[in-house]
Amino acid sequence: MDHRLRRRIDDLMAALSSHLEEAASLSRERLGAIPPVAVVLGSGLGILADHMQEARDLAVEDIPHYPPSTVHGHAGRWVAGRLDGTFVLALKGRVHAYEGYSQDQVVFPVRLLAALGVKTLVTTNAVGCIDRRLRPGDLVLLEDQLNLMFRNPLRGPNDDAAGPRFPDMSAAYDRDLMAVALETARQEGLELHTGVMGGLLGPSYETPAEIRMLARCGADVVGMSTIPETIAARHLGLRVAAISCVTNFAAGLSARPLDHSEVTEAAEMARGRFSRLLAAFLARI
């Protein structure tokens, strides 16, 4: 390889690792002991982080190199504490590729979690439903994903110390965690479906033709988040589980045009059941 290109790659990797070290050191200082499990609270669930006990928190804007919020006054927060007794690190708010972030920025939080020693990532999100078994309000445990964002957070030089150049994605969502989630739902008397998520970049919702295509490709639900986080987490060897809340019928499956307020309202309506499932699941892993 050309030595100038080699130098540039080495410089890029050194910058990323020094950024992660600086961010990790501030996070440790402010949060204290870091739990082994982190949970990303998607649309409508952020409020869970406000009810944690013995909590220490940190505004993400204080974390060096953390992607800056694009929504004024809506920066995220990291909270380490007890959620119904279970010690977890809750991430309130996430970074979406459609906001204009680079893939490196989108997965910076996941890389930071790994640098802090987190071993298990539980993500939650809002999705539209494609499969006819599903309807708004349903909870869906992701079993696999279709990356239709046409980008990959691992593109670029690979840090072989962090993870392999070509990571295996044959079980992106951990089978043991899935079994625990399904058993938890059964014991709690809550319905939990399983399904494949198709992830698109957004921010426009899909067209009915795109939804028909996704259905033929095997997607049960569709969303604009989670996919890059799961790829980066698997690369780093984290175990991943994801639970989606269906907030709407995907485009073309209902007569109503899609609207963001429908999504946030449906997520809020499901919040009670979702929180109960999540807390019980976290207590078992």
**How many chain residues interact with ligand HPA (CB under 6 A)?**
13
Under the criterion CB under 6 A, does residue 131 sit at the interface with ligand HPA?
no
> What whole-number distance in Å separates Cα of residue 141 and Cα of residue 129?
13
Using DSSP, state whether 264 is helix, strand or coil.
helix
Catalytic: 158? Answer: no
Nearest by Cα to 263 from 205, 185, 200, 182: 205
Q: Which of residues 49-108 bind ligand HPA (CB under 6 A)?
A: none
**Count of CB atoms within 10 A of residue 84's CB?**
16
List 98, 171, 183, 268, catalytic entry? 98
206 binds ligand HPA (CB under 6 A): yes
Among 126, 139, 172, 279, binds ligand HPA (CB under 6 A): 126
Assign 181 to helix, strand or coil: helix
- In the bound state with ligand HPA, the residue whose beta carbon lies nearer, of 86 and 248, is 248
Q: Which is nearer to ligand HPA, 156 or 202 (CB)?
A: 202
The nearer residue to ligand HPA, 186 or 256, going by C-beta atoms, is: 256
Q: CB under 6 A: which stretch of 134-142, 147-155, 162-170, 246-254 binds ligand HPA?
A: 246-254
Q: Which of 74, 161, 255, 261 is catalytic?
A: 74
Q: In the annotation, is 99 catalytic? A: yes
- What tokens does 260 get? 């963001």
**DSSP label at 112?**
H
Please, what is the end-to-end C-alpha distance for the chain in angstroms? 45
Judge whether 278 and 177 are in contact, CB under 8 Å. Answer: no
Residue 210 sits in the site that holds ligand HPA (CB under 6 A): no
Six-digit token string for 67: 């992607």
Nearest 5°: the CA angle 242, 247, 252 is 115
- 126 noted as active-site residue: yes
Q: Which of 198, 194, 195 is nearest to 213 (CA)?
A: 198
Q: Is 43 a catalytic residue?
A: yes
Asked if 128 touches ligand HPA (CB under 6 A), the answer is yes
> Is residue 195 a contact residue for ligand HPA (CB under 6 A)?
no
260 is catalytic: yes
74 is catalytic: yes
- Candidate list 114, 172, 224, 241, residue with the active-site label: 224
Provide, rounded to whole angstroms, the least separation between the CB of residue 167 and ligand HPA. Answer: 25
Q: Which helix H or strand E contains 57, and what residues bound it?
A: strand 53-59
List for the chain the helix, strand, coil content (%; round to 5). 40, 25, 40
Catalytic residues: 43, 74, 96, 98-99, 126, 224-225, 248, 260
* Residues binding ligand HPA (CB under 6 A): 126-128, 205-206, 222-224, 247-248, 250, 258, 263
